[in-house]
Structure 1
């Protein structure tokens, strides 16, 4: 499965996706873009996984675009930016926006450099666990460019517009601690991969229908019409109640409660 640039290992219903170009700081070249897109397509169809963890091999999460490699051929930029429908993601954007098409939580474990395209990838996830000393940046401005890999969608939901403009215009670098203050990461930890794994395992024990519905509900309803949001709440809840997973969850919870009650009764005697 695209092992040259991205490795995928599935254990305990958790897909571990690793950017695998450590000798180049996991910089994005054309094979890396294509590998990430292929990985997203495959995971989107996998009904056995309950969470996805994205991390980088080596000392860095992802240092951004491999400009030298991409600029070798004028066709590369055309392949990255071309799209049939203007409102759909192109190859450059899908490595960020594509994670939201996977119906399970996607967690990024950030360490080292997370610059430019690397930050765009991380912003596309549902959660971001980062080391306090990670180096993050909307680095495109350094090259006289704008961030065009889909991260803008996440930025508008996560932070104030003036702060987003400031980061994009200056291309300044900031730490994981500063990213937490800016609401760009979910949690600061010295062991982001281990903590992402623990968090993913806690989600695996929940109803997969409810987890998937929660992701859809909040993604679609965080902004926009209140009426539509209320409709989605009711609609998704009805679908969950009609599914088999909620009945299993309720039975397990009830059974555990009855066992606990029986234990307490015996203890009194």
Structure 2
């Protein structure tokens, strides 16, 4: 059996997820879709994992869909797009929106090219740290397609509608600097992996339960009604007040900043 298309290692509460087809600039074939989906499910089920760093091997994040590979096996295309109900996420969509649905922060490290499906996956992350000279594009229109991997869920929250439409219609390739100016990436760095690791250390100072509640609240309440927002805030706060990590957070602030947190509560 060949090397896996997605490598996952966990150390000190951080899951490092690496797209691993460097000889193909990490183009996304069916196996990579499947392995990413499994990685997301594994991370969600493990309360010891507190953060994800998502990157690509070989100096590129992803060149997008491996069209030749997917189209050479028609049943793979069917499996990618199939869904039981129209409002459910299919496999192609889960590898983007799945990161948003995790109860832990997700940081994407963007180097080299980040095109099409690769951009859709990166949009699922909570934070995107890119090299200034990286190349990013919502490229589906170039192939006569609509972006259909759920990246729009995040895109509509991070940039104005006219800019999102312009990038999607033109398939323009942006530099990291241009993408940062438009809000497509969170931060620029000459060493994005190092910057991601530094951000991870900062984020790990927060209670894993509080991090899960904050991510849930922001993602679900961003475009929700005020009543839903108020309900979700109150419900989350009660859960936090009853949990052990809220007490530990107070101890870390007032007495011992090295006191370790407990594993994340289930149910977030």
Measured against the shorter chain, the TM-score band is over 0.9
Equivalent position of 2:262 in the other structure: none
Q: 1 CA distance for matches of 2:130 and 2:199?
A: 13
Is the CA contact (8 Å cut-off) linking 1:114 and 1:136 kept in structure 2?
yes
**SS across alignment from 2:59:** coil
**SS across alignment from 1:118:** helix
Q: 2 CA distance for matches of 1:254 and 1:32?
A: 46
Q: 1 CA distance for matches of 2:250 and 2:4?
A: 44
Structure 1 runs (4+) deviating above 4 angstroms are none
Equivalent position of 1:178 in the other structure: 178
Equivalent position of 2:113 in the other structure: 113
Q: 1 CA distance for matches of 2:216 and 2:9?
A: 25
Is the CA contact (8 Å cut-off) linking 1:50 and 1:203 kept in structure 2?
no
Q: Is 1:54 paired with 2:54?
A: yes
Q: Structure 1: state its 5+ residue gaps.
A: 258-269
Equivalent position of 2:266 in the other structure: none
Matched ranges for 1:13-92 at <5 A: 13-92=13-92
Per-residue deviation at 1:252?
2.8
Equivalent position of 2:139 in the other structure: 139
Q: 2 CA distance for matches of 1:6 and 1:256?
A: 38
User: Whose helix proportion is higher, 1 or 2?
Assistant: 1
Decide which structure has the larger Cα Rg and report it.
1
**SS across alignment from 1:114:** strand
Q: Is 1:208 paired with 2:224?
A: no
Per-residue deviation at 1:5?
0.4
The CA RMSD measured in Å over matched residues stands at 1.3
Q: Is 1:149 paired with 2:149?
A: yes
Q: Is 1:196 paired with 2:196?
A: yes
Q: 2 CA distance for matches of 1:134 and 1:165?
A: 21
Q: Structure 2: state its 5+ residue gaps.
A: 258-268
Q: Is 1:254 paired with 2:254?
A: yes
Q: 2 CA distance for matches of 1:65 and 1:255?
A: 51
Scaled by the length of structure 1, the TM-score of the pair is: 0.92
Q: 1 CA distance for matches of 2:256 and 2:65?
A: 51
Q: 2 CA distance for matches of 1:9 and 1:74?
A: 32
